[in-house]
Structure 1
Amino acid sequence: MARITGSWLSGPSAALPEGNGNTDNAYRGEKLGLPQDGIGSIAPTGRRLIALLIDWLLSLGIAGLIYSAAPFAQPSTITLLVWLVLGILAVTLFTFTPGQLITGIQVAMTNGAPRVDIVHAGIRSLLLALVVPAFITDGDGRGLHDRLSKTVVLKSR
């Protein structure tokens, strides 16, 4: 009789019933019911990084305008706050930030809701601001910030 907990060398899939140990996807987004390619498929990492860079540069420019009006404030703190507000409001209102619009990607809820609500957009942006959750990804390429906020970034064109 096999031990239900498996061996410490077997890894976490050893405790799964027979036949359920295969967690590999044929493609990214398969478990979420998304198409393999085209509109509505998981956005590639390169597009996501370019969108993040565009949003950060936009926030940096806006923060520069604010910083010139408030010289005692810290420019890096203002930039981060502008980036957070931009991300939360843009994703809530339009499902994409300016950088995501330029790169052809958008944020969607995994439960099929038509829009990302402000709570989930806030959770996503706050976790993304911590940077580390974005580097912890699953088999679908979704970062921890997307998993915890129940969102996914998809190609929009």
Structure 2
Amino acid sequence: MARWIESWLPGSSAGGSAPAGHPGERFGLPATGHYSVAGFGRRVAGVCLDWFLSYLLVLLVAGVDALGTPEFSWWVLGTWFVITALSVSVLGTAPGHLALGMRVARTDMATHVGVPRALLRTAMIAVVLPPFLRDTDGRGWHDRASRTVVVRVLRG
């Protein structure tokens, strides 16, 4: 059975996805080095760093006594959402991505990701499942829906 879901998912090729030579090839990205598609492990580590940063910020503001309250996890999620959506829309990278040498790029290679794409992408990551449903380019549903791809950025 063909991948029927690809026909309606934004950012996908309507006629199905033929396997590319390497992830990101159909977007004109190199196989390795600067602007190559970032690996799954690196991306998960970046989200974990962002989550840890949010956790620490909420602890600093709310204090250690807030740890046992039911609202604490919602505050962490909200803080993570704001940090991620804001930094991706303005800078093209979240703090965890930046620390690990990655950025979010649009598949049409426009300069900025923009607010609507960053909000959609971040909301879908918050649902957890979309990042694990990936295509041949290593993009999760959140990247496909927002027409973005996470790429490596080499420093220096």
TM over 0.5: yes
Size of the aligned set, in residue pairs, is 141
Residues 93 and 104 of structure 2 are in contact (CA less than 8 Å); yes or no, is this contact kept in structure 1? Answer: yes
One-letter identity of the residue aligned with 2:54: S
How do 1:76-87 residues align onto structure 2 when only pairs under 5 Å count? Answer: 76-87=73-84
Provide the residue aligned with 2:116 in structure 1.
119
Residues 67 and 73 of structure 1 are in contact (CA less than 8 Å); yes or no, is this contact kept in structure 2? Answer: no
For residues 105 and 35 of structure 1, the distance between their equivalents in structure 2, rounded to whole angstroms, comes to: 14
Structure number having the greater helix percentage: 2
Unmatched tracts of structure 2, length 5 or more: 4-14
Provide the residue aligned with 1:95 in structure 2.
92
Is 1:61 matched up with 2:56? Answer: yes
Provide the residue aligned with 1:42 in structure 2.
37
Is 1:145 matched up with 2:139? Answer: no
RMSD of aligned residue pairs (Cα, Å): 2.1
For residue 37 of structure 1, give the secondary structure of its aligned residue in structure 2: coil
Residues 107 and 148 of structure 2 are in contact (CA less than 8 Å); yes or no, is this contact kept in structure 1? Answer: yes
One-letter identity of the residue aligned with 1:12: A
Provide the residue aligned with 1:155 in structure 2.
152
Unmatched tracts of structure 1, length 5 or more: 1-10, 14-19
Q: Percent identity?
A: 35
Provide the residue aligned with 1:110 in structure 2.
107
For residue 29 of structure 2, give the secondary structure of its aligned residue in structure 1: coil
Q: Which has the higher contact order (CA 8 A, sep 6+)?
A: 2
One-letter identity of the residue aligned with 1:120: R
Q: Runs of 4 or more off by more than 2 Å in structure 1?
A: 65-73
One-letter identity of the residue aligned with 2:37: I
Is 1:133 matched up with 2:130? Answer: yes
Residues 67 and 78 of structure 1 are in contact (CA less than 8 Å); yes or no, is this contact kept in structure 2? Answer: no
For residue 107 of structure 1, give the secondary structure of its aligned residue in structure 2: strand
What is the Cα deviation at residue 73 of structure 1? 6.9
